[in-house]
Structure 1
Amino acid sequence: MKTIEENGLVLIIYKDKKYLKRVESGKSFHGTGGIINFADLAGTAYGMRYGQYQLFEPTLEDIIMYGLRRETQIVFPKDGYYICFKLNLHCGSRLLEVGAGSGALTCMFSRMVGPEGKVVSFEKDERHYRNAKKNIQRFAEWNNVELHNGDVTGYEEGEFDAAFIDVREPWLLLEKVRDLVKGSGLLGTIVPTANQIADTLRGLQDGFGDIEVMELMLRKYKTVAERVRPEDRMVAHTGYLVFARTLE
Structure 2
Amino acid sequence: MSMVPLDSSKKISFQRKICDGDLVIVYERHDNMKAIKVCKGSELQNRFGVFKHSDWIGKPFGSKVLSNKGGFVYLLAPTPELWTLVLSHRTQILYIADISFVISYLEIVPGCLVLESGTGSGSLTTSLARAVAPSGQVFTFDFHEQRAASAREDFERNGLSSLITVGVRDIQGEGFPKEYSGSADAVFLDLPQPWLAVPSVETMLKQDGVLCSFSPCIEQVQRTCETLQSSFTDIRTFEILLRAYEIRECRLVSNAVEEGVTTGPLPQKRRHCLPNGKNTDSLENNGSVMVRPCSSARGHTGYLTFARLKVQ
TM over 0.5: yes
Q: 2:64 is matched with which residue?
A: 48
Q: Residue 3 of structure 1: which of 13, 17, 28 is its match? A: 17
Distance 2:142 2:187 in 1: 14
TM-score by length of 1: 0.91
Tell me whether 1:178 sits opposite 2:202 in the alignment. yes
Distance 2:139 2:23 in 1: 27
Deviates more, 1:169-178 or 1:139-148: 139-148
| C-alpha distance after superposition, 1:107-143 (max 9, x if no partner) | 2111111131111222111121112221222225350
Q: 2:188 is matched with which residue?
A: 164
Specify whether residues 221 and 154 from structure 1 end up closer, same or farther in structure 2 by C-alpha distance, changes over 3 A only.
Answer: closer
Distance 1:39 1:140 in 2: 21
Q: 2:307 is matched with which residue?
A: 244
Q: 1:38 is matched with which residue?
A: 53
Is the CA contact (8 Å cut-off) linking 1:166 and 1:190 kept in structure 2? yes
Distance 1:167 1:36 in 2: 42
Question: Following superposition of structure 1 onto structure 2, how do residues 120-139 of structure 1 map, counting pairs within 5 Å?
Answer: 120-139=139-158
Distance 1:214 1:241 in 2: 5
The structure with the greater share of residues assigned to strand is 2
Secondary structure of residue in 2 paired with 1:12: strand
5+ residue gaps, structure 1: none
Is the CA contact (8 Å cut-off) linking 1:185 and 1:245 kept in structure 2? yes
Deviation of 1:154 after TM superposition, in Å, equals 5.9
Is the CA contact (8 Å cut-off) linking 1:110 and 1:144 kept in structure 2? yes
Q: 1:233 is matched with which residue?
A: 296
Distance 1:146 1:11 in 2: 24
Is the CA contact (8 Å cut-off) linking 1:92 and 1:118 kept in structure 2? yes
Tell me whether 1:150 sits opposite 2:169 in the alignment. yes
Which entry has the higher C-alpha Rg, 1 or 2?
Answer: 2
Specify whether residues 2 and 145 from structure 1 end up closer, same or farther in structure 2 by C-alpha distance, changes over 3 A only.
Answer: closer
Q: Residue 114 of structure 1: which of 133, 137, 161 is its match? A: 133
Q: 2:11 is matched with which residue?
A: none
Tell me whether 1:205 sits opposite 2:208 in the alignment. no
The aligned length equals 247
Deviation of 1:228 after TM superposition, in Å, equals 2.8
Cα RMSD of the aligned pairs, angstroms, is: 1.9
Is the CA contact (8 Å cut-off) linking 2:142 and 2:169 kept in structure 1? yes
Tell me whether 1:13 sits opposite 2:27 in the alignment. yes
Quick one: percent identity of the two aligned structures?
A: 29
Distance 2:238 2:202 in 1: 21
The structure with the greater share of residues assigned to helix is 1
Deviation of 1:164 after TM superposition, in Å, equals 0.6
5+ residue gaps, structure 2: 1-14, 250-288
Specify whether residues 122 and 44 from structure 1 end up closer, same or farther in structure 2 by C-alpha distance, changes over 3 A only.
Answer: closer
Distance 1:47 1:230 in 2: 31
The letter for the 2-side match of 1:242 is T
Q: Residue 100 of structure 1: which of 116, 119, 140 is its match? A: 119
Q: 1:26 is matched with which residue?
A: 41
Secondary structure of residue in 2 paired with 1:229: strand
Specify whether residues 154 and 84 from structure 1 end up closer, same or farther in structure 2 by C-alpha distance, changes over 3 A only.
Answer: closer
Specify whether residues 154 and 213 from structure 1 end up closer, same or farther in structure 2 by C-alpha distance, changes over 3 A only.
Answer: closer
